[in-house]
Chain A
Amino acid sequence: MPFTDLVKEFETFAFKDYFEAVRPGDVQKTLDRVDARTPLGRQDLLTLLSPAAKNFMEVMAQKAQQITRQYFGRTIGLYAPLYISDFCSNHCTYCGFNTSTGFKRTQLSLEEIEREASAIFAMGIRHILVLTGEAPDKTPLSYLTAAMKILKKYFPSIGLEMFPMDEDAYAALTAAGADSLTVYQEVYDRKIYGEVHPRGRKADYEYRLLTPERGARAGFRAVNIGTLFGLGDPMGEAFIAGVHAKYLEQAFPHVEVSLSLPRMTKAAGGIAPKNLLSDKGFVQCMLAWRLFMPRLGITISTRESAPFRDRLVHLGATRFSAGSRTDVGGYVVHTQDTTVQFEVTDTRSVEAVTRMIQESGYQPVFKDWEMF
């Protein structure tokens, strides 16, 4: 079944009623299945995201920690984002790069990209995530592939978080050296999606929804998806995101699938978050996902605070960004006067994050991929 049909199935599902009907005994049954190593189904995921599961968080956490250590070891992968352009023609009502927010747009030249790359490499980072806004006329494929060739000199792994493209464009980018793709649906709830993406390219819900699949077919070896918490009902969104991840894992066995949990922070010119996800809710999502998908990558960005990230090391996270700058040219090229996509909360250096991971009894992993 195509994922678009699967999402439609849940459009009429009464999440609220279902979540409230979950009893402690149901949670216990799901946890017994974890102990018996029986793969969990969608109903189990719903159960673990319910209010009733909140009373089982400690036992969920212990199981999640054990499973994560078994499959990923005592390690946390590290990466840093590189924003190369903040030109954007989208109208996302919640985003600092929204086309109608009046700030001076910036785009790095290839020479500037190399200076940023060199600075990030010097920080010890070997896996990079390259980001742009959505303005294909400003950042055409030729510019992006040229950027890949420069970045490849420094980084054995290059991830992309740009705008949805067709399969051919993705194939050109993987051929140029990119190996992983990040694309967030932002919100799986179709109605809210329409409200917060009123016009432009991004208003096409289904094209975005099928982007990870196009990427997987085009040769990306890793795909990272997520929902932006703060738009739709958090637990309903977490459920669909989990189902989406599982769908990708089954449909593309050669692809490593990860989930992120971006929580909205107030960006310049953006709307305030509607459905705030608490720290407890955040951890509940992570734990539920981990028990649902033992091999799922879980990526945590610097949107989250240092003390909170320190705890997440033990709760199933597999990848952290570190030393991040979320403005174009933020590492060395431009040191002020640019606009950030979101405020970094964990402002520690790569060295400080490395130390924290080591002190937590985990190994920071700078390199775990290279396509020879």
Chain B
Amino acid sequence: MAEDVLILGNKRFSSRLFTGTGKFASKTLIAPMLAASGSQMITVALRRVDPTADQGNILAHIPETVTLLPNTSGARTADEAVRIARIARAAGCGDFIKIEVITDMQYLMPDNHETLKACRILAKEGFVVLPYVMPDITVTQQLYDAGAAAVMPLGSPIGSNRGLEMRAMIQRIIEVSKLPVVVDAGIGRPSQAAEAMEMGADAVLVNTAIATSEDPCLAGKAFSLAVMAGRMAFLASLAGTRKGATASSPLTGFLRE
């Protein structure tokens, strides 16, 4: 099999499992989890970063080899998200930014409209923008036009561990998106991560299920293997894994008008 990498911004990712820093029993579990899972990108809420704390500073627990994906959790408008992104970059967190604009604290549902507005601004400023959205093909196209680096539709509400309740919508996004599709939120089991990858997702982001497990290292490894298995199944075009149109037409491509 040829080398299979995901390119976002100017970075190449051989691991298609993205992880998060929240909800761990101890921040000291984060680095071993990253090592065990091989995850090369981890998201961190800027509002939880405390530069005045030493070991308490979450950034001190993330190895330099892992790409930091600061997120705008806490933002309720595009303006707030933009401000948080700029502060993250100024604080040395790099150019990657996950836009989260949430106005529903019960289910943590994203506001696609404000997210798109923030994406337009941040992409122009050179950020590698990964927007967290409700699965919507129109918004996916608009995010592409706005210069997003990927689209991150939710599988089900954040932290719910319900898996791909948005399966049909995500399937359609995978079929039409010109952007890499990273399924974010709601993935509670490795089998669900594998399912997303089999469907053709380019990556998945898993936090709650790993962080709140009894053994985050083991759980991280399990998710990593599941993501690889799902990806291989997709690449192998297992019967039924490709639901959308394929790019070429091996049987009828010779026909001309």
Contact = CB atoms under 8 A, between A and B. Distances in A.
Nearest to A296: B106
Contacts of A274: none
B244 interface: no
Contacts of A71: 159
A370 B56 CA distance: 16
23 contacts: A70-B159, A70-B160, A70-B208, A70-B212, A72-B23, A73-B211, A75-B23, A75-B25, A126-B52, A156-B47, A253-B106, A254-B103, A255-B105, A295-B106, A358-B26, A362-B25, A363-B27, A365-B48, A367-B47, A367-B53, A370-B47, A372-B80, A372-B84
A256 interface: yes
Interface of B: 22-27, 45-50, 52-53, 56, 74, 76, 80, 83-84, 87, 103-106, 159-161, 208, 211-212
A74 B105 contact: no
A75 B106 CA distance: 18
B105 A254 contact: yes
A100 B161 CA distance: 54
A367 to B, nearest CB: 4
A81 B53 CA distance: 20
Nearest to B109: A253
B25 A366 contact: no
A120 B211 CA distance: 30
A371 B74 contact: yes
Contacts of A256: 105
Contact of B48 (A70, A124, A367, A371): A367
Contacts of A255: 105
Interface residues of A, number: 30
A372 B159 CA distance: 25
B67 to A, nearest CB: 22
A372 B46 contact: yes
Contact of A295 (B48, B74, B76, B105): B105
A361 interface: yes
A259 to B, nearest CB: 15
B25 A74 contact: yes
A359 to B, nearest CB: 11
Nearest to A257: B105
A26 interface: no
B84 A361 contact: no
Given A366-B50, A367-B48, A372-B83, A73 B24 contact: yes
Interface-central residue, B53, B76, B105, by most chain A CB under 10 Å: B105
B55 to A, nearest CB: 11
A126 B50 contact: yes
B2 to A, nearest CB: 39
Nearest to B83: A372
A253 B103 contact: yes
A313 to B, nearest CB: 11
A369 interface: yes
A337 interface: no
A348 interface: no
B86 to A, nearest CB: 9
B74 A370 contact: yes
A249 interface: yes
A369 B22 contact: no
B212 A74 contact: yes
A370 B106 CA distance: 20
Contacts of B45: 368
B159 A363 contact: no
A69 interface: yes
B47 A249 contact: no
Given A253-B103, A255-B105, A372-B46, A366 B56 contact: yes
B56 A253 contact: no
Nearest to A294: B106
A368 B47 contact: yes
